[in-house]
Amino acid sequence: MLRKSVLLLALLLGLVGAARPHIRHGQRISKLSGDALVEAACHGGGGDEADCVSTLKSASPNQKAEANALAYFALRFVENHAENITDSIQKLNAVPDFDPLLQSALTDCMDQYESLDDMIEDANDAVASRSYPDAQKFIIAALSSVELCSSQLKASNFEGNTDNNNAQNVRMARDLTKYVVLHKKLLSAALNILTVD
């Protein structure tokens, strides 16, 4: 248990460090707006940033004009789409004779996503009241949940397992993994926006 706690703490610290944006000339991300704000928010979220950028660019011009509004948009997007994740998990878990390792990963993901709505709602409340340290804590907790789900899905090796011969189930698991990764990037973007330099 202690070892898991230490690993989780190390993961969280790594996420926070990796998620910090790189802004030129000492400019704060909170002072940016529009596309510059979107790109700075998505920078450092890990992997391809295109999905994060395109999602945040879909925000209204008013939301992209102000850092708090864009953070709220990113958090609300994840919260609204978390239900799709849980629906997908339930569909995959209902498949008879599905790979036990993947079913275990899906159960872990379901456990993580069940509390995600509350964490994001608390983060949005903290953003609205400009209590950024509290918002950061809730976002880090949400990131931890999403990261745990993502790592469990990767560890299940659902694409490489020959028992998973149903192409539709593999495609659903792959799509689920993509959405989980997008949620991780959007939560990192919200954290980037709220991180005070």
User: How does pLDDT run across 48-71, given as a tens digit for each residue?
Assistant: 789 999 999 999 999 999 999 999
- CB within 8 A of 195, min separation 6: which ones? 16, 19, 20, 21, 29, 136
Are the beta carbons of 52 and 189 closer than 8 angstroms?
Answer: yes
User: Does 166 reside within a domain?
Assistant: yes
Are the beta carbons of 145 and 113 closer than 8 angstroms?
Answer: yes
What amino acid occupies position 69? Answer: A
User: Does 112 reside within a domain?
Assistant: yes
Please name which of 125, 120, 122, 111 lies closest in space to residue 142, comparing C-alpha atoms. 120
Are the beta carbons of 135 and 127 closer than 8 angstroms?
Answer: yes
Sign of CA dihedral 107, 83, 177, 94: positive
User: Does 5 reside within a domain?
Assistant: no
pLDDT, residue 196, reads 54
- How far apart CA 38 and CA 128 sit, in angstroms, is 19
Q: Domain range for residue 80?
A: 32-194
Q: What is the mean pLDDT of residues 145-160?
A: 86
Alpha helices in the chain (DSSP H): 2-19, 34-42, 50-57, 61-64, 67-93, 100-114, 116-128, 132-156, 167-194
User: Does 152 reside within a domain?
Assistant: yes
| pLDDT band with cut points at 50, 70 and 90 for residue 5 | very low
User: Does 77 reside within a domain?
Assistant: yes
Share of the chain above pLDDT 90, in %: 48
User: Does 39 reside within a domain?
Assistant: yes
pTM for this prediction:
0.80
| pLDDT band with cut points at 50, 70 and 90 for residue 161 | low
Give me the CATH number covering residue 75.
Answer: 1.20.140.40
Long-range contacts, stretch 91-98, CB < 8 angstroms, 24+ apart: 91/172, 92/169, 92/172, 92/173, 92/176, 95/166, 95/169, 98/164, 98/169
Are the beta carbons of 140 and 92 closer than 8 angstroms?
Answer: no
User: Does 37 reside within a domain?
Assistant: yes
The structural domain count of the chain equals 1
